[in-house]
């Protein structure tokens, strides 16, 4: 008998959580990614499933058909569609859900942050800053800046972007972690005036904010989408493992999968 856990991944936390859960006796992990990245980083100790579920109904059917005992959503803090579907779909399938949400970066002394509610709001606010923009919001967000003719963009993303996108743009295909020294040199070398970023949190991509602080550069910080009200959430994979061991010691919802036959 084993507990089958679905981890919604695409993050370092998702991978770490998967390795920790899979090390528990009697736990089988299915690690799910959207499938947008050509060479995704993956955990070693899980079955991997790739691609969307087909919305809320598709996810609820998957949870029932695959005999999932619990769902842990460890997607990126800005993957709001997936998290909303996880909340509704797990509820529909009567499968317990937990969200792992890493804390955002705090604004500290010397920072010059300008909070905006969306990528569209960031694009609209650019007129108040200089011409040369460092964009670290990912290739999927580039369309929001397609009409910004008066600015030049340096986009850093893991995969190449596709139109619509700004007319004046250079693309840097890179995956973190990044260093403060590297980020400082990059911003100086490209004579960056302003940075546009999401408050992703975590250590892998925080160096750009330290570099911006040292260089006195303004940062347009796109707010995180809120979690659906009442969603149970923890900050770290370790907290999620504690939730799971506590919960699975007191079974409720789906019974463990009988995979003995």
Q: Which residues pair with 7 in a beta bridge?
A: 31, 72
Does residue number 105 form part of the binding site for ligand NAP (CB under 6 A)? no
Does residue number 34 form part of the binding site for ligand NAP (CB under 6 A)? yes
Residue 94 beta carbon to ligand NAP: minimum distance, rounded to whole angstroms: 19
Residue 80 beta carbon to ligand NAP: minimum distance, rounded to whole angstroms: 5
Does residue number 32 form part of the binding site for ligand NAP (CB under 6 A)? yes
C-alpha dist (Å) from residue 17 to 37, 43, 184: 20, 9, 32
Among residues 8 and 192, whose Cβ is nearest to ligand NAP?
A: 8
Among residues 184 and 236, whose Cβ is nearest to ligand NAP?
A: 236
- Which of 46, 68, 79, 196: binder of ligand NAP (CB under 6 A)? 79
Among residues 11 and 18, whose Cβ is nearest to ligand NAP?
A: 11
- Which of 21, 27, 82, 212: binder of ligand NAP (CB under 6 A)? 82
Q: Which stretch binds ligand NAP (CB under 6 A): 76-84, 104-112, 171-179, 247-255?
A: 76-84
Among residues 81 and 167, whose Cβ is nearest to ligand NAP?
A: 81
Which of positions 173-212 make contact with ligand NAP (CB under 6 A)?
Answer: 198
Does residue number 244 form part of the binding site for ligand NAP (CB under 6 A)? no
Cα–Cα distance for residue pair 145/241, rounded to 1 Å: 40
Angle at 92 between CA 91 and CA 95, to 5 degrees: 50
Among residues 13 and 168, whose Cβ is nearest to ligand NAP?
A: 13
| Torsion angle, alpha carbons of 235, 237, 239, 245, to 10 | 150
Beta strands in 95-238 (DSSP E): 97-100, 113-116, 132-135, 152-157, 169-173, 194-198, 219-222, 233-234
CB atoms inside a 10 Å sphere around CB 113: 18
Closest C-alpha to 101, from 197, 203, 13: 13
Quick one: CA dihedral 177, 180, 181, 185, positive or negative?
A: positive
Which helix H or strand E contains 124, and what residues bound it?
Answer: helix 119-125
| Contacts with ligand NAP, residue ranges (CB under 6 A) | 8-11, 32-34, 36, 52-55, 58-59, 75-76, 78-82, 85, 138, 140, 198
């Amino acid at each position: 008998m084993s507990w089958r856990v679905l981890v919604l991944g695409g993050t370092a936390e998702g991978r770490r959580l998967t390795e920790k859960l899979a090390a528990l006796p009697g736990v089988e992990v299915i690690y799910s990614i959207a499938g947008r990245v050509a060479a995704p980083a993956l955990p070693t100790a899980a079955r991997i499933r790739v691609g969307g579920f087909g919305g809320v109904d598709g996810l609820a059917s998957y949870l029932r058909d695959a005999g999932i005992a619990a769902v842990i959503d460890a997607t990126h803090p800005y993957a709001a569609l997936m998290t909303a579907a996880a909340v509704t779909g797990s509820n529909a399938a009567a499968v317990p859900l937990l969200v792992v949400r890493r804390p955002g970066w705090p604004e500290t002394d010397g920072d010059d942050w300008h909070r905006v509610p969306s990528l569209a709001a960031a694009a609209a606010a650019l007129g108040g800053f200089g011409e040369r923009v460092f964009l670290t919001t990912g290739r999927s967000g580039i369309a929001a800046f397609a009409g910004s003719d008066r600015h030049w963009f340096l986009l850093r993303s893991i995969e190449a972007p596709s139109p619509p996108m700004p007319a004046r743009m250079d693309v840097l295909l890179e995956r973190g972690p990044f260093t403060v020294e590297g980020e400082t040199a990059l911003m100086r070398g490209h004579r960056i005036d302003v940075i546009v970023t999401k408050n992703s949190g975590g250590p892998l991509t925080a160096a750009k904010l330290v570099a911006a602080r040292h260089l006195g550069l303004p940062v347009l910080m796109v707010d995180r989408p809120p979690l659906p009200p009442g969603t149970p959430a923890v900050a770290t994979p370790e907290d999620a493992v504690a939730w799971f061991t506590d919960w699975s010691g007191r079974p409720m919802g789906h019974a463990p999968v009988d995979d003995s036959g």
